[in-house]
Amino acid sequence: MVEDEEIIRQSIVEEIHRLPFGPMLTGEAGNGKEAILILENRPVDIVITDMRMPVCDGRELLKLIEEKGYECEIIVLSEYTNFEYMQQAIHAHVADYLLKPIDPSKLEDILRKTCRRVEEKRRLELNIKDPIDRIFVGAIKKTPSNQMRELFCMYNRLFPQNGLWISMICLGKGQGEIYDVGIQKNLNDMCFQAPFKARVRPYNESRGMFGLLILVPLPVTAGVTHLYHEWLKEYFRKIKKEYGEQVRIGTTHFISEIGLFAHALNHAARSVEYLVHGRGEIVWFENIERITHSEINLSACKKGLLDMIVSKKDLRDQILSAFCRPIKDMDYVYIPALQNAIRDFTFYLERCCQDNGIIMNVSEAIEGECNECIHNLEWYGEIELFLSRLLDSTWDIVNLKRSLTTKEIIEEIISMVKEKYMEELSLMNFSQTYFINYIYLSRQFKSATGYTFTEFLQKTRMEKARKLIEQYHFDEKEAASMVGYQNVYYFSTAYHKYFKGDTQNE
């Protein structure tokens, strides 16, 4: 139970203790940091967490739970008005959510359904009879080390005679989204001709990731190692033929001690985070374990982007090539480092546009939340498509701005005000229409007219109103609505104040 307000936390704890089906409370925490300490030391099936908390809020907690791979059901508490927090919770695939103030009957209903899911998971895990599979599931679930040691002791009898090679297969998000047992079965069927006992288990279904376990009798000679390497290459070719080019396999050192299982599994998962010359391949952990991740150099594509925005020349192909060519030139490309480079480029693009009087919203251009989209990029083709769409949108805006000078745009705005003064008009809307930064346009408008936009709009309306009242003898109520004022009292006050000097002279 994670909630910073003690009164709310204690009331929910009391409600949990009253529940007839008796879920056991593992611990209480006042923020996400305290919650992670509990998760690191005790097995937890369900986390109930508030979203707005000091030190480490709910969003950060959900992120840490995902990064650390804790297999727990999450129930989020939030107020109706905290839309951003709720949106984050939805993206994190939480089990359910409760709105404050908490309705005890809804809390009971949600906990009952969640406990039912937990029990179903446990039944499935108990049906795993194979000892290696049991250890594999334990390692994925980040089972506490003391419980893993119990598993090791229970199944250690296997390892005087056998050892393991562990690999990670990544089929990509497209396959993960349609994941079912058929894919796992198919990958297992492809292992039929393996020279050793082999099996495949799901690791991360949303990314289409599966663990490949090869049980090998000891001792392992050079000939056995060569046989395994050749078979793995052939297995990789079969998977690519079945599921397309978007396939990676990360594989690790041979292990002969069961205590190294979780360590080796982690190495395999790290290995599959690499592209080889920008493409999917078999990545051997020993080839990448000493690689230090330096930042990808963006100077050439940043320069090209600035030139395109300032000089208004179509340099999309050159910029895309400057970004993508180095990816294919590098032996190993670390996907998280590549994602960071793309984030850096998008920040630079927005800032560069703003500095040159152009509005550019990356999330709108790619039709999705920017950081989330970038987080999901992990294949060369996806990256190339993402950047192409981004550069196309930028060029469309630059090209539109190229057809009109700032002076011409201001002249159009003045003409529009004089024609549609009775409508709702704002400089912000004009800045978005012409893709020009609002502050930049505001300064240029004042420089060209001597008035702020609001002053110019008021001047136009008042002059039109005076003509209606003095020349055509409309009353103030009629004139107000005709020049765009809904509140006649506000108009009357503003009108007399605006022409106060003329009235006094008369």
**What's the CA gap between 483 and 504, in Å, rounded?**
24
Q: State how many domains the chain has.
A: 4
Helix (H, G, I), strand (E, B) or coil at 264: helix
In-domain check, residue 317: yes
Banded model confidence at residue 143, pLDDT cuts 50, 70, 90 = low
Count helices and strands (H / E) in the chain: 25, 10
442: CATH: 1.10.10.60
In-domain check, residue 292: no
73: CATH: 3.40.50.2300
In-domain check, residue 25: yes
* DSSP H or E stretch at residue 97: strand 96-99
Helix (H, G, I), strand (E, B) or coil at 472: coil
Tell whether 12 and 106 lie within a shared domain.
Answer: yes
Per-residue burial over 52-73, b = 16 or more CB atoms within 10 Å of its CB, e = otherwise: ebeebbbbbbbebbeeeebebb
The rounded mean pLDDT for the chain is: 81
pLDDT at res. 158: 61
pLDDT at res. 83: 46
In-domain check, residue 339: yes
Tell whether 147 and 116 lie within a shared domain.
Answer: no
Tell whether 276 and 364 lie within a shared domain.
Answer: no
Highest mean pLDDT (candidates 173-177, 372-376, 427-431): 427-431
Q: What Cα–Cα distance (Å) separates residue 309 from each residue in 300, 318, 322, 360?
A: 15, 14, 16, 11
Tell which of 255, 282, 309 closes a domain: 282
Which domain covers residue 89, as residue numbers?
A: 6-124
Lowest mean pLDDT among 167-176, 320-329, 367-376, 468-477: 167-176
Tell whether 68 and 150 lie within a shared domain.
Answer: no
Using alpha carbons, select from 321, 315, 325 the residue that is nearest to residue 394.
315
Tell which of 402, 437, 472 closes a domain: 402
In-domain check, residue 311: yes
Write out pLDDT tens, residues 166-223: 999 998 755 444 445 578 888 888 988 888 888 888 887 667 888 898 888 888 888 8
Residue 71 has pLDDT above 80, yes or no: no
pLDDT at res. 129: 59
149: CATH: 3.30.70.100
In-domain check, residue 289: no
In-domain check, residue 216: yes
**More confidently predicted of 356 and 445:** 445
Q: Retrieve residue 262's tokens.
A: 């979780």
pLDDT at res. 178: 44
Tell which of 226, 251, 282 closes a domain: 282
Confidence (pTM)? 0.57
**What's the CA gap between 469 and 472, in Å, rounded?**
6
Residue 91 has pLDDT above 50, yes or no: no
pLDDT at res. 146: 56
Tell whether 221 and 147 lie within a shared domain.
Answer: yes
Strands 46-50, 73-78: pairing kind:
parallel
Banded model confidence at residue 125, pLDDT cuts 50, 70, 90 = low
Tell whether 377 and 421 lie within a shared domain.
Answer: no
Tell whether 372 and 427 lie within a shared domain.
Answer: no
Tell whether 161 and 53 lie within a shared domain.
Answer: no
**More confidently predicted of 401 and 77:** 77
In-domain check, residue 293: no
Tell whether 233 and 171 lie within a shared domain.
Answer: yes
Residue 112 makes CB contacts below 8 A (sequence gap 6+) with 19, 21
Tell whether 93 and 198 lie within a shared domain.
Answer: no
Tell whether 27 and 110 lie within a shared domain.
Answer: yes
Cβ(24)–Cβ(44) below 8 Å: no
Percent of the chain with pLDDT over 70: 84
Tell whether 100 and 185 lie within a shared domain.
Answer: no
**More confidently predicted of 23 and 283:** 283
